[in-house]
Chains A and B, each alone.
Chain A
Amino acid sequence: MKKKTGVFVCHCGINIAGTVDVKKVAEELAKHPGVDLSEDYVYMCSDPGQNMVIEAIKEKKLDNVVVACCSPTLHETTFRNAAKAAGINNFQCEIANIREQCSWVHKDMSKATLKATKITKSAVEKVRQNESLEPISIPVTRRALVIGGGIAGIQAALDIANTGYEVILVERNPSVGGHMIQLSETFPTLDCSQCILSPKMVEVSKHPKIKLMTYSEVQEISGYVGNFKAKILQKPSYVDPDKCTLCDECTKVCPVVMTDEFDLGLTGRKAIYIPFPQAIPATYTLDIRGCPGLVPIACGKCADVCEPEAIDYDMKAEIIEEEVGSIIVATGYDLYEKENLSEYGYGKYADVLDGLQFERLLSASGPTQGKILRPSDHKEPKEVVFIQCAGSRDPELHCAYCSKICCMYTAKHAMLYKHHVHDGQAYIFYIDIRSGGKGYEEFVQRTVEEDGVVYLRGKVSKIFEDKGKIKVWGVDTLLGKNIEIDADMVVLATAMRPSEGASELAKKLKIAMDKDGFLAEAHPKLRPVESVTSGLFLAGAAQAPKDIPEAVAQASGAAAKAITILSQERLFHSPTVAKVTLNLCTGCGMCVDVCPYDALSLKDGKVEVNEVLCEGCGTCQATCLRAAINVKNTTPSQVHEMIRASLGG
């Protein structure tokens, strides 16, 4: 049966009609084969305009319509809904973009009219071969997975759990808390980090809707939005947290001293340890990298003294499988590697520290109980040089980007140093001071005015040890003078990097990364918490350097996005997916190899499409040598007719 097509050309006031002879376009289209009706109207998207389309479909019994108007990004949904209201399928409506791609970019009326006519004819050819499709409906597993137990992950997990959905929070370290729990006080209010974060850590561990999995890593993610399957590796801690009473007898007898990661190497810990006294879960972990042997005959001292018999050398790694509907990735950051900053003597001189190490010195729970002492001789430093942008904003040698938080934490470090060492002097080398944020600029001013910190605009050229001092050579570019400081301690505001292992995880999750290795958001302005893969959201410093309030805000945003998925019983997926013509398919598998979504597989010598995974990109279609696989409603036959219409006349 011959299909009847209706064409509706919009004037858009004078936005289209100013350059395109709309009446002429409608007349030309009326002559086009298959077009039964061709009309124009001043504002097609208005209520009377939409009614005109609806009535015409009903009265003339049109099979499909083309609306020639603005970009489909604006009103495709509007007119497809109108088509549906008139009783035909959404996909029996196509948009011809004659505004953004025609009237707005041209001045010559006759040429623009000709072009608009061709664009509209091309859309007519497309719609005439469109299949009627219904959205693909998929059930939703109403639980979430949060990867990373720092402040961003904790916030996201709590927000989701508080709406009543189950959350699995996975943290690879023995305790949640992330880098924030290592900090002393936080800018600009000088809240103690422990005091504001510990209650949240406890909440996470006690929340009835949160399953906390520490010392665990995500191994594999499969599935798709609403229905992910996660394989999580639970590493053995060799200590039963339910039996452990935190008596600390085991660490007293453990003969092995290892570097303490929590204090960033400023102190040591035993092979059996609790990362810090307020760790959540509150239990010990036996680090097998240092333990002389899990066979009791090799050592076994800890098990001997453990009265509650919490230590179990037979504990094994376990793979736990979980099903979730959405995933939040909050894998955080690490500091720029020490070995990259040898020009500042970082890693060579004991008294050249990074920002996190200085945080530990300032922390009341740190290795010096909050006293600022030099790691080399435990003396109080009287002259401290802080160097900003150590590794940041240096496209030639290091990272091109700004690490964003260093201006503020360096000001805080210098201020807190002055609060501890009243007769000391703090110098800060900086390139620019970036203190955008609520109360941030005032905080920096306070550092200068009330605490007398000296800001020197310029870079440090050399750092070397000389007679027990650390000589800092630099330049003050405002005064045009060379600066030489005999410092007792140097603190580097090292760049932030995506955390170790983030890139491997991104590959497992199919999340894109930006040029610096941070996880890429779906749109830099309008979709900052979503990844390009639907159902996967980003939070915290894993996406870009950010401070605590920003990480928290993004985490809550990501949680809200995750909840929009969990709150639905079923999800709908675009039905414009690939379709295999079985008698043409030879099962060569070329399309299977190129599919970016693993949506294709071979079954009984033919390709099979997982319609839920397929995003309809059409890479398979261009790869198939026998035209056996096509994306619905963008088939080669449609494109060839569109080409003909576009070139005709």
Chain B
Amino acid sequence: MAENFEPRIIAFLCKWCSSAGSDLAGVSRMQYPPNVIPITVMCSGSISPLYIFDAFNKGADGVLVSGCHPGDCHYIKGNYYARRRIALVKKLLEFIGLEPERFQMSWVSAAEGTKYTQIISDFVDALIPLGPQTKLRRNL
């Protein structure tokens, strides 16, 4: 694998918990690799599987979906729908041969800056040995 491989990751963060958690990581000046571009959405429940496929199509090496902890959803139950939907997407991605490490879901609350930092660091570490994602990438 190329030594200087920098994985490109899209992180879909819900506005109320995970985006706020990543803000907290910033306020606390925690350090994590700059490979993630966050896209903030209202709720993890609003993340369509198409967003995830699209990110891989457009060349993402990894995709993270992060929402409020189960039971803590700002919108009462959006993250339960997300959890079910994401579980299916994960299975589908594995079925078509994508390495399971490339797609992750996590629960990060507004108070969990440390957890967010850890998740990103671990994700980047897991992606480096895999190299660029080519399976779903379209020649754009």
Q: Are A and B bound to each other?
A: yes
Q: How far is the CA of A72 from the CA of B81 in the complex (A)?
A: 26
Q: A112-B34, A617-B43, A634-B41 are in contact. Are A622 and B26 (CB under 8 A)?
A: no
Residue pair A644, B50 in contact (C-beta under 8 Å)? no
Residue pair A104, B29 in contact (C-beta under 8 Å)? yes
Count of A residues near B, CB < 8 Å?
A: 46
Tell me if B135 counts as interface (CB < 8 A to partner A).
no
Nearest chain A CB to B77 CB, angstrom units = 5
Interface string of B20-47 (1 = CB under 8 A from A): 1011011101111110011111110111
- Please name all residues of chain A whose beta carbon is closer than 8 Å to the beta carbon of B30 when the two chains form the complex: 105
Residue pair A647, B75 in contact (C-beta under 8 Å)? no
Q: A643-B54, A646-B10, A647-B55 are in contact. Are A622 and B85 (CB under 8 A)?
A: yes
Residue pair B78, A647 in contact (C-beta under 8 Å)? no
Q: A73-B20, A100-B27, A639-B41 are in contact. Are A617 and B78 (CB under 8 A)?
A: yes
Tell me if B91 counts as interface (CB < 8 A to partner A).
no
Q: Which of B59-94 contact A (CB under 8 A)?
A: 59-60, 71, 74-78, 81-82, 85
Q: A99-B26, A104-B26, A647-B55 are in contact. Are A111 and B34 (CB under 8 A)?
A: yes
Q: A73-B23, A532-B76 are in contact. Are A643 and B46 (CB under 8 A)?
A: no
- Please name all residues of chain B whose beta carbon is closer than 8 Å to the beta carbon of A100 when the two chains form the complex: 22-23, 25-27
- CB-CB nearest in chain B for A596: B76
- Give A contacts to B, CB under 8 Å: 71-73, 97, 99-102, 104-108, 111-112, 114-115, 118-119, 122, 510, 512, 515, 532, 576, 594, 596-597, 615-619, 621-623, 631, 634, 636, 639-640, 642-644, 646-647
Residue pair B75, A615 in contact (C-beta under 8 Å)? yes
- Please name all residues of chain A whose beta carbon is closer than 8 Å to the beta carbon of B26 when the two chains form the complex: 71, 99-102, 104-105
Q: How far is the CA of A73 from the CA of B19 in the complex (A)?
A: 10
Residue pair B23, A510 in contact (C-beta under 8 Å)? no
Most buried by A among B29, B33, B48, B78: B48
Can you name 9 A-B pairs with beta carbons within 8 Å?
Answer: A72-B40, A73-B20, A101-B22, A111-B34, A597-B76, A622-B48, A639-B54, A643-B39, A646-B10
Nearest chain A CB to B124 CB, angstrom units = 12
Most buried by B among A576, A616, A646: A646
Q: How far is the CA of A618 from the CA of B16 in the complex (A)?
A: 13
Tell me if B51 counts as interface (CB < 8 A to partner A).
yes
* Complex partner residue of A639 from B23, B29, B51, B74, CB under 8 angstroms: B51
- Please name all residues of chain A whose beta carbon is closer than 8 Å to the beta carbon of B102 when the two chains form the complex: none
Most buried by B among A510, A616, A618: A618
- Please name all residues of chain B whose beta carbon is closer than 8 Å to the beta carbon of A597 when the two chains form the complex: 75-76
- Please name all residues of chain B whose beta carbon is closer than 8 Å to the beta carbon of A621 when the two chains form the complex: 46, 48
Residue pair A647, B60 in contact (C-beta under 8 Å)? yes
- Please name all residues of chain B whose beta carbon is closer than 8 Å to the beta carbon of A618 when the two chains form the complex: 41-43, 45-46, 78
Interface residues of A, dominant DSSP: helix
Q: How far is the CA of A640 from the CA of B50 in the complex (A)?
A: 9
- CB-CB nearest in chain B for A19: B34
Residue pair A532, B74 in contact (C-beta under 8 Å)? yes
Q: A100-B22, A623-B81 are in contact. Are A643 and B27 (CB under 8 A)?
A: no
Residue pair A643, B58 in contact (C-beta under 8 Å)? yes
- CB-CB nearest in chain A for B45: A619
- Please name all residues of chain A whose beta carbon is closer than 8 Å to the beta carbon of B74 when the two chains form the complex: 532, 617
- Please name all residues of chain B whose beta carbon is closer than 8 Å to the beta carbon of A642 when the two chains form the complex: 39
Q: How far is the CA of A72 from the CA of B15 in the complex (A)?
A: 10
Residue pair B54, A619 in contact (C-beta under 8 Å)? no
A-B residue pairs, 9 tightest by C-beta: A618-B46, A100-B26, A617-B75, A646-B37, A619-B45, A104-B26, A100-B23, A596-B76, A617-B43
Nearest chain B CB to A179 CB, angstrom units = 29
- Please name all residues of chain B whose beta carbon is closer than 8 Å to the beta carbon of A647 when the two chains form the complex: 8, 10, 37, 55, 58-60
- Please name all residues of chain B whose beta carbon is closer than 8 Å to the beta carbon of A615 when the two chains form the complex: 75
* Complex partner residue of A643 from B33, B51, B78, CB under 8 angstroms: B51
Q: How far is the CA of A647 from the CA of B138 in the complex (A)?
A: 13
Q: How far is the CA of A619 from the CA of B67 in the complex (A)?
A: 13
- CB-CB nearest in chain B for A100: B26
Nearest chain A CB to B23 CB, angstrom units = 4
* Complex partner residue of B32 from A105, A594, A616, A622, CB under 8 angstroms: A105
Residue pair B43, A619 in contact (C-beta under 8 Å)? yes
Residue pair A636, B50 in contact (C-beta under 8 Å)? yes
* Complex partner residue of B39 from A102, A111, A622, A639, CB under 8 angstroms: A639
Q: How far is the CA of A532 from the CA of B39 in the complex (A)?
A: 24
* Complex partner residue of A617 from B42, B50, B54, B58, CB under 8 angstroms: B42
Q: A643-B58, A647-B59 are in contact. Are A105 and B75 (CB under 8 A)?
A: no
Q: Which of B78-121 contact A (CB under 8 A)?
A: 78, 81-82, 85, 117
Q: How far is the CA of A640 from the CA of B51 in the complex (A)?
A: 7
Nearest chain A CB to B51 CB, angstrom units = 6
Q: How far is the CA of A631 from the CA of B75 in the complex (A)?
A: 14
- CB-CB nearest in chain A for B110: A523
Q: How far is the CA of A72 from the CA of B22 in the complex (A)?
A: 12
Q: How far is the CA of A646 from the CA of B76 in the complex (A)?
A: 30
Residue pair A622, B47 in contact (C-beta under 8 Å)? yes
Q: A617-B75, A646-B39 are in contact. Are A622 and B34 (CB under 8 A)?
A: no
Q: How far is the CA of A619 from the CA of B14 in the complex (A)?
A: 12
Q: A118-B37, A621-B46, A636-B50 are in contact. Are A594 and B81 (CB under 8 A)?
A: yes
- Please name all residues of chain A whose beta carbon is closer than 8 Å to the beta carbon of B78 when the two chains form the complex: 596, 617-619
- CB-CB nearest in chain B for A126: B39
- Please name all residues of chain B whose beta carbon is closer than 8 Å to the beta carbon of A104 when the two chains form the complex: 26-27, 29
Residue pair B29, A105 in contact (C-beta under 8 Å)? yes
Residue pair B23, A617 in contact (C-beta under 8 Å)? no
- Please name all residues of chain A whose beta carbon is closer than 8 Å to the beta carbon of B71 when the two chains form the complex: 512, 515
- CB-CB nearest in chain A for B51: A639
Q: How far is the CA of A122 from the CA of B39 in the complex (A)?
A: 8
Nearest chain B CB to A285 CB, angstrom units = 38
Q: A616-B42, A618-B46 are in contact. Are A106 and B81 (CB under 8 A)?
A: no
Q: How far is the CA of A105 from the CA of B34 in the complex (A)?
A: 8
- Please name all residues of chain A whose beta carbon is closer than 8 Å to the beta carbon of B50 when the two chains form the complex: 636, 640
- Please name all residues of chain A whose beta carbon is closer than 8 Å to the beta carbon of B46 when the two chains form the complex: 617-619, 621-622, 631, 634
- Please name all residues of chain B whose beta carbon is closer than 8 Å to the beta carbon of A594 when the two chains form the complex: 45, 81
- Please name all residues of chain A whose beta carbon is closer than 8 Å to the beta carbon of B42 when the two chains form the complex: 576, 616-618, 631, 634
* Complex partner residue of A510 from B6, B49, B54, B76, CB under 8 angstroms: B76
- CB-CB nearest in chain B for A510: B76
- Please name all residues of chain A whose beta carbon is closer than 8 Å to the beta carbon of B75 when the two chains form the complex: 596-597, 615, 617, 619
Q: How far is the CA of A512 from the CA of B38 in the complex (A)?
A: 29
Q: How far is the CA of A107 from the CA of B54 in the complex (A)?
A: 30
- Please name all residues of chain B whose beta carbon is closer than 8 Å to the beta carbon of A622 when the two chains form the complex: 45-49, 81-82, 85
